[in-house]
A and B are shown apart, each in its own frame.
Chain A
Amino acid sequence: DTGVSQNPRHKITKRGQNVTFRCDPISEHNRLYWYRQTLGQGPEFLTYFQNEAQLEKSRLLSDRFSAERPKGSFSTLEIQRTEQGDSAMYLCASSPRRLLANYGYTFGSGTRLTVV
């Protein structure tokens, strides 16, 4: 599999519950990005990793959000105490650092979160 894989594809949760999403990037890509996309809007940057280091976090990423990338491989995005406003598509993307500018990202299919 040469693509970016995200699981689960869909998640429905009750308000106040915690959820965790997983992203498996392309194996040789050392950069990994998380974006959030609400219905009818463009994706918004949340955070990114270079290998295992989380190098930037958006102000959109409140204290209830945490992302990890142990060992520089897969990444998880956890949302604690979910709120209805967290309902969105969460997109993961990866890129090789050296070719970042030339080729853009490879995106996964996303995880759609619905908070009821």
Chain B
Amino acid sequence: AQTVTQSQPEMSVQEAETVTLSCTYDTSESDYYLFWYKQPPSRQMILVIRQEAYKQQNATENRFSVNFQKAAKSFSLKISDSQLGDAAMYFCAYRGSGNTGKLIFGQGTTLQVKP
């Protein structure tokens, strides 16, 4: 069975600085998708960034980028120029190549942004 592990329960960053959130996963599949979701205190999950396993190029969305290391089964999220609005819980999620589409989530990392 696939698992997703986020080993950092809490992280903090100074406003305007850069922070990296870690995620590792375990799977025997070769084709899959990885996501980072943000959950602000209002609780609605928002997709931040996604990565297809068959793509070697790391995904980037504005200030958010990932470091995808397929062999190491690592998928970290880098937030550049951190803003107060980035404060939230961040979840790493895995989706296999099957038709179900269900996501397997990590335990989450709470990010605090200090002014």
Q: Which residues of A contact B (CB under 8 A)?
A: 31, 33, 35, 40-45, 48, 55-56, 89, 91, 93, 95, 100-105, 107-110, 112
Contact = CB atoms under 8 A, between A and B. Distances in A.
Interface residues of B, number: 25
Contacts, number: 61
B47 A104 contact: yes
Given A104-B37, A107-B37, 12 more contacts: A33-B101, A33-B102, A42-B105, A43-B45, A45-B102, A45-B103, A45-B104, A55-B100, A100-B101, A101-B101, A105-B45, A110-B43
* Closest 8 pairs between A and B when the two form their complex, measured CB to CB: A42-B105, A107-B45, A45-B102, A104-B47, A109-B44, A100-B101, A42-B91, A43-B105
B60 to A, nearest CB: 16
Contacts of B100: 48, 55-56
A71 B103 CA distance: 25
Contacts of B105: 42-44
Given A31-B101, A45-B103, A89 B47 contact: no
Given A107-B45, A109-B44, A43 B91 contact: yes
B44 A48 contact: no
20 contacts: A33-B101, A33-B102, A35-B103, A40-B108, A42-B6, A42-B91, A42-B105, A42-B106, A45-B103, A48-B102, A55-B100, A56-B102, A89-B43, A91-B45, A95-B101, A104-B35, A104-B103, A107-B37, A107-B46, A109-B44
A109 B42 contact: yes
Interface string B88-115: 0001010100001111111110000000
B26 to A, nearest CB: 15
Nearest to A58: B102
Interface of B: 4, 6, 33, 35, 37, 42-47, 50, 52, 91, 93, 95, 100-108
B42 to A, nearest CB: 7
Given A33-B102, A55-B100, A56-B102, A101 B47 contact: no
